[in-house]
Structures are given as C-alpha cells and as structure tokens.
C-alpha cells in the first residue's frame, strides 16, 4: 500500500484513469498482479485464461477506460477498419450521394470512413495518403487532385493499399476506376441545347486539368461542331468553381455584345449559382436564358424552374467503388478494371420553357 | 544468389516491391546485409550510421517504396499528425467554412484532417472516436451526434485525447466548447419578423434533441411571447433537415387555412429549400412570403432575393476551436472553456421587400 498516502479515497480505476492515455497493459497487470501476456489474452477473450481472471481484468480495463492500442495490434493483424475517401469538394451534394452509397455498401457501422477534402491541393492529398499508409488503413477511394500523376498513383498501388479511383482519371496508369462518361454527357446536353434552337451556348466551370473538365468540354465542342457552330472562346469560362467565381462569370457573359442564350454549368452547383446570377440581373432562368447543370443531384428536379441536368449515377459509382475496394481488401489483386457509366440527359423546364407552368 | 532463378531480370527494388505492404526493416536489412537497428537508424538520418551506408539504405528504401510504419513509431512519439473533425452534415456550407478556418489555423499541410460525417448516428460517431483513440490521433473537434451523453464525452476527455466541441452542447459536462449563441440569434431574427408586421411566423427545421435546435426555437418562442403572439403548433415544424422534408413542410404550411406570412428556416439550406418550394407554388419569396435563414453562409447575400440570415461566425468558431485544440496538443489541460459567440442579424430583401429592386 505504498501509494496509499497520495491517492487516499480514490478507487483503483480512478487512479489508473488519472494516468490518461498512458494506461498500458503493463499498468493493468501490475495493478492485478498478473503478467502483461495474461492481461492481453484476457482482453481478447482467450480460453487460456480462467473465467474469473478474465472477468476481473475486463472489469478493471472497462472501468479505467483502457483503449486497446490498435496501432500495435495492426502490426499483427491486417484490418484497421479505417477507409479513406478523398475528394476535392466535400460540400458538393454529388459527393454526398457517393459517400452514402459507399457507407451502405461497406457497412459503415464497423468501419470508420475518413473523408479528406483535398481541395485540389496535391500536398494535402499526399499528407492524407501518407497518413493512411502509415496507419495501415484498409483502403482508399480517391477522386485525385489536380497534379496527381502516374507515379503518385503507382506509389499507392505498389504499397499494397487497396485502392479505387473515382470521377477523375489519371493519364498513363491503369487502376481500378469508376466514373461517368463525361464526354457522352457533355455532348448529349449540348446537342439538346442546339436542338432547342440555341447557337450562343456558354460553358461555365470545370477544371481543364481534370478528365471530367476536359471531357465534358470536349463533348460540348463535338456537339457544336456537328451542328456547324463555331466555338466562341468568349463563351468558354473554365476553372470557375466557387460561387463567387460563377457570379463573376455570369456577369461578364451577360455583358457581352452578343450574350449567350443558354448556359451549360459544369455541375449543378455551378448551374444553381448561374440561376441566382440571372435573377440578380433581372432575368428569369428558363424563360429568358436557358440553364443546365450536370450530376442531377437531389433538388435539381425540384428547383424552380426545374433544372435540366445530366444524371451521373452517384449511387452506382459509390457502390461499384465499394465492391472493387472490398475485393482487394479480401485479398484479390488490384486489377485495372475501368468502369465507365453511361450518363442520362434529364430535360426539364430550365431549358424548355413552358409558359403555363 | 539462391533466388536468381525465380526473379531473373528483376532489380532488387522490384523484387522487394513485389512483397507489397509486407516490406519491413528486416527485409531491407537482409538485402543489404545490415542489422534491422542500423536500417532503422539510417532511415532516421542518425549520425551513428556512416554516410555511405545511410545513403545506400535510403536509396533502396525509396526505390522499393518502403513506407515507415507510423503505427509503430507512434508508440514512442506523441504526434501522429492526424486530427479528426466530426459533424452531422458534411454538405452544409457552414461546416465547410469552419473546416477552412480549422485548416488554416492548424496548418493543414503537415496535418491530415480526417472528416467524419456521422449523420447523427451515435454508433457511427463511436466507431470514429474509437478509431482515432486507437490510432492515437493528435486531437478531435466534434459537433456531437444526437444521443451523445456526458459519459460519451467524459470517455473521450479521460482518454487524454485533445478535444474541443463545436456548434452543439452536451448537458451535464463542461469541456472546451465554441458555438454561437443560438437563443440570441433565434430571438433577434423573430423580433425582426414581428417588427416587419408578421404574426403568422413558421419555424421550419432544427432538431430539438440538439442545443442548436432547442435554443433557436426557444429564441423564436421568447420573441413571440414578448409581442403577445401565441405559438401556433401548426407553424412549428421541427426535424425537417433534408431538402425533401423541407419541400413537404412548405407544402403543408401553405395549405393551412391561415398560412404563415413568414418562414424562419433553421439554417440557410432549409431557407433555400423553402424559397424553391414557394416558387414551385407560384409564390415569390420576399414579395409574397418572407423567408429567412441562419448561418449567413456564402451565397445568402447573393441569392435572389438576397436572404436575410443570422451571421454565425463560422470562421471565428473554426479558428477558436483550433486554438483550444492546439493548446491541449501542446500539453495544456482540457480546461472547460465555454465560448459563446454573439451572432449578428443581417436583414436583406427576402424579409423586407423592395418593389423597385
């Protein structure tokens, strides 16, 4: 009872709790007069430990707030129940739909899904990837940041970390990948706007250093070319992804001597900003200027006017990515499966004005 | 050269890479004829290892894609450069503003900020908290899920994990906490609507099991009471946080025999859904029915009509939370500092219609 004086009145558990995160198997063992090995076995419900001892150990551990150090455990066992998901824009509802599907498919209750918002900062992406590797995460699903190259991706795959790429593609490397066919979607939407009689169609947003930005734009260019419409560089406003940038782009476009009659927003967030900007300028979206988005996120169909958009299969992308990841977690090799999902044009009032509505 | 036959033509690095995540210090040592201890010292730039040896080790490790196992390292050193942030709704732009401030204050380049979207699922929150503890994260900033009780919070604090609570409060426990004064904000906004002549004011959204939901609502009730207006339970529609639920609530409210003339949305997302719902019903927000939000997120001022909202200091909350966390990371105790920030009512056209605008 050498420690009696300083801890008078405190229970054993409270005294151990006082040690905070330093609480170890050894401390529990010293307290109970048992070896560290016995404590460890008891906490893992080993039949090698007598029931009474096991219960005594577990009771004290629970009372003292002992947390197994998974870092050490993961040196022995493969699973850490930690999966990373990286995207460039966490507030885009399209990604929220993908997260939801991932969580459902991966059974999130037993898994900590750690989201990283890299905001297209390659250094931030690298920090996150390194942290996941160092902590031996079970897997990584990633929409790669601008600047990600084949070496960056090879480093992840070569480390053995189960890995799936979504939404954006990186040149010169084949890895498990799921995304929508952005070229087909961009072309379908632009063909629709041309068919509605538009010749001055602006393309707003999308980063050309990404496959999504390049391909939706290439689809737009292809559809204009088919119709014999020359691409006007004044109507091409890439890289505008924040709401502030979208407003500025809209203001500039509307001030042109020959302003656009239709606006193709790179995604629904951009389209929603464009609608606000039109109203701000005293123009009614749908009636005065056609507006369309991409992704067909929740709310597009219900906005006023209802937003024409390209359905981009968030749920399917999320659940396919989860399957590809699960297969690797269960030991299958990371074969370069490349899944391209056909998008679907959904025409609504924002590009087809109905006066009576 | 015993392994020559099976690996003919492969470099040493390529052969080691083939082992994938199993690559260890021991394997590197065996390859170079050095002890594991020497390899370990060389990778940490120790002066105890001759320069030539150090460079030889580092070159092979880099070529073979060796990643230091931080799990093991973290048993010795305190920092893992991993901070968790938990919220219930990752797509709310208000949280994006808080994340941005956190990242700036914590210097995100050297830190992996791991976001968890608990979606008010207490089990998911627990999984994430356990994972952070097990991997000895440097800290946790948390907007607690519905159902979080004092014991849950005590368990985190007692573990020694640096911890700060934001936006929502948990009863019966004092921990470092930063949030806006939701009662004051709710009352200020309702007073304004009353002053504009409204008597039928609906309150839409907010979860009453959270401090934010309870207090904004209590402020609304207090302001109505001051004005001698009885609270009509038909105008009180809590728990509606999804866009679909907001639409349904709006439809029900507008169909009342005596419908509301003003709508107080629990946050800007709810208010934006209410605006869409009004337009869908052929009503113009601001002119026909007043609409107000809360948080004053980016875009509120610029929406059409500009949205009256309660500025809720996202940036200040994020940077104060970062300071409180940093202090603990640097060894200060988790004193129960409770910071309540006074919000600021920002009146715009959505509640004060200007016909000429």
Q: Chain A residue closest to B67 (CA)? A: A134
pLDDT at A258: 97
Q: Tell me the per-residue pLDDT of A281-333, one tens digit each, with 9 for 90 and over.
A: 999 999 999 999 999 998 899 888 999 999 999 999 999 999 999 999 888 88
Nearest CA of chain B to the CA of A273: how many Å? 8
pLDDT at B258: 97
Q: Chain A residues with CB inside 8 Å of B68's CB? A: 134
Q: What confidence tier does A277 reach under pLDDT thresholds 50, 70, 90? A: very high
Handedness of CA B144, B145, B151, B155 (dihedral sign): negative
pLDDT at residue B155 is higher than 80:
yes
CB contact under 8 A, B115 and A111: no
CB contact under 8 A, A131 and B82: yes
- Encode B80-104: b = buried (16+ Cβ within 10 Å), e = exposed: bbbbbbbbbbbbbbbbbbbbbbbbe
Q: What confidence tier does A54 reach under pLDDT thresholds 50, 70, 90? A: confident
pLDDT at A93: 86
Give SS3 for B129.
helix
Nearest to A243 among B81, B127, B299 (CB): B299
Q: Tell me the per-residue pLDDT of B264-275, one tens digit each, with 9 for 90 and over.
A: 999 999 999 999
CB contact under 8 A, A69 and B117: no
| pLDDT (average), residues B64-78 | 49
d(CA A276, CA A63): 56
Q: What are the backbone dihedrals phi and psi of residue A113, each rounded to the nearest 5 degrees, phi first? A: -90, 115
CB B295 within 8 A of CB B289: no
Q: Which of B24, B296, B299, B328 to mutate to test the interface with A (most CBs of A within 10 A)?
A: B299
Q: Tell me the per-residue pLDDT of A111-132, one tens digit each, with 9 for 90 and over.
A: 889 999 999 999 999 999 999 9
| pLDDT (average), residues B82-109 | 87
Give SS3 for B140.
strand
pLDDT at B110: 74
Q: Tell me the per-residue pLDDT of B207-243, one tens digit each, with 9 for 90 and over.
A: 999 999 999 999 999 999 999 999 999 999 999 888 8
Q: What confidence tier does B5 reach under pLDDT thresholds 50, 70, 90? A: very low
Q: Chain B residues with CB inside 8 Å of A132's CB? A: 112
Q: Chain B residues with CB inside 8 Å of A124's CB? A: 108-109
- Close Cβ partners of A129 (under 8 Å, ≥ 6 residues apart): A84, A86, A140, A142, A152, A156
Query: Which of A190, A208, A210, A209 lies closest to A200 in space, CA to CA?
Result: A190
User: Average pLDDT of chain B?
Assistant: 86
pLDDT at residue A72 is higher than 90:
no
Whole-number percent of chain B with pLDDT over 90: 59
pLDDT at residue B69 is higher than 50:
no
In chain A the domains, ranked by start, together with CATH numbers, are 2-68 (1.10.260), 80-180+314-342 (3.40.50.2300), 182-312+345-351 (3.40.50.2300)
CB contact under 8 A, A116 and B117: no
Q: Tell me the per-residue pLDDT of A339-352, one tens digit each, with 9 for 90 and over.
A: 999 999 999 999 99
Q: Chain A residues with CB inside 8 Å of B130's CB? A: 67, 112
Q: What confidence tier does A69 reach under pLDDT thresholds 50, 70, 90? A: very low
pLDDT at residue B206 is higher than 50:
yes
d(CA B114, CA B237): 34
Q: What confidence tier does A104 reach under pLDDT thresholds 50, 70, 90? A: confident
CB contact under 8 A, B112 and A111: no
pLDDT at B76: 35
Alpha carbon B47 to chain centroid, angstroms: 43
Q: What confidence tier does A168 reach under pLDDT thresholds 50, 70, 90? A: very high
Nearest CA of chain B to the CA of A126: how many Å? 9
- Close Cβ partners of A33 (under 8 Å, ≥ 6 residues apart): none
Q: What are the backbone dihedrals phi and psi of residue A295, each rounded to the nearest 5 degrees, phi first? A: 110, -25
User: Average pLDDT of chain A?
Assistant: 86
- Close Cβ partners of B323 (under 8 Å, ≥ 6 residues apart): B105
In terms of pLDDT, which residue wins out, B62 or B124? Answer: B124
Q: Tell me the per-residue pLDDT of B300-309, one tens digit each, with 9 for 90 and over.
A: 998 889 999 9
| pLDDT (average), residues A182-193 | 98
CB contact under 8 A, B90 and A93: no
| pLDDT (average), residues B183-201 | 98
pLDDT at B181: 98
d(CA A52, CA A336): 53
d(CA B81, CA A118): 16
CB contact under 8 A, B134 and A69: yes
Maximum Cα interatomic distance, chain A, rounded to a whole number of Å: 93
Give SS3 for B191.
helix
- In total, the C-beta contacts within 8 angstroms joining chain A to chain B are 171
Nearest to A70 among B84, B99, B135 (CB): B135
pLDDT at B143: 97
pLDDT at B165: 97
pLDDT at A158: 86
Q: Chain B residues with CB inside 8 Å of A116's CB? A: 112-115
pLDDT at residue B4 is higher than 50:
no
């Amino acid at each position: 009872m050498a420690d009696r004086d300083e801890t008078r009145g405190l229970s054993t558990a409270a005294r151990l709790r006082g040690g905070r995160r330093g609480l170890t198997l050894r401390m529990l063992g010293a307290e109970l007069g048992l070896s560290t090995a016995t404590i460890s076995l008891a906490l893992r419900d080993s039949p090698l430990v007598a029931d009474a001892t096991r219960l005594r150990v577990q009771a004290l551990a629970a009372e003292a707030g002992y947390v197994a150090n998974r870092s050490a455990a993961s040196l022995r066992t493969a699973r850490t129940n930690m999966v990373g998901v990286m995207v460039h824009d966490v507030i885009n509802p399209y990604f929220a739909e993908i997260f939801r599907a991932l969580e459902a498919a991966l059974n999130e209750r037993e898994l900590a899904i750690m989201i990283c918002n890299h905001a297209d900062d390659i250094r931030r992406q690298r920090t996150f990837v390194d942290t996941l590797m160092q902590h031996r995460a079970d897997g990584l699903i990633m929409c790669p940041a601008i600047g990600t190259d084949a070496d960056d991706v090879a480093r992840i795959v070569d480390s053995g970390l189960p890995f799936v790429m979504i939404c954006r593609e990186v040149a010169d490397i084949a890895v498990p990948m799921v995304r929508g066919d952005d070229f087909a979607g961009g072309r379908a939407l632009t063909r629709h706007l041309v068919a509605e009689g538009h010749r001055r169609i602006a393309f707003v947003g999308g980063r050309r250093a990404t496959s999504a930005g390049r391909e939706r734009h290439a689809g737009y260019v292809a559809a204009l070319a088919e119709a014999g419409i020359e691409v006007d560089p004044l109507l091409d406003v890439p890289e505008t992804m924040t709401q502030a940038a979208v407003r500025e782009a809209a203001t500039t476009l509307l001030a042109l001597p020959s302003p656009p009659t239709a606006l193709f927003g790179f995604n629904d967030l951009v389209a929603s900003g464009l609608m606000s900007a039109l109203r701000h300028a005293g123009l009614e979206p749908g009636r005065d200027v056609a507006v369309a988005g991409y992704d067909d996120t929740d709310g597009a169909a219900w906005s006023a006017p209802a937003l024409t958009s390209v359905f981009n299969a968030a749920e399917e992308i999320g659940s396919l990515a989860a399957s590809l990841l699960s297969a690797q977690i269960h030991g299958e090799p990371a074969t370069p499966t490349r899944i391209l999902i056909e998008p679907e044009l959904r025409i609504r009032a924002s590009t087809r004005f109905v006066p009576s509505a």
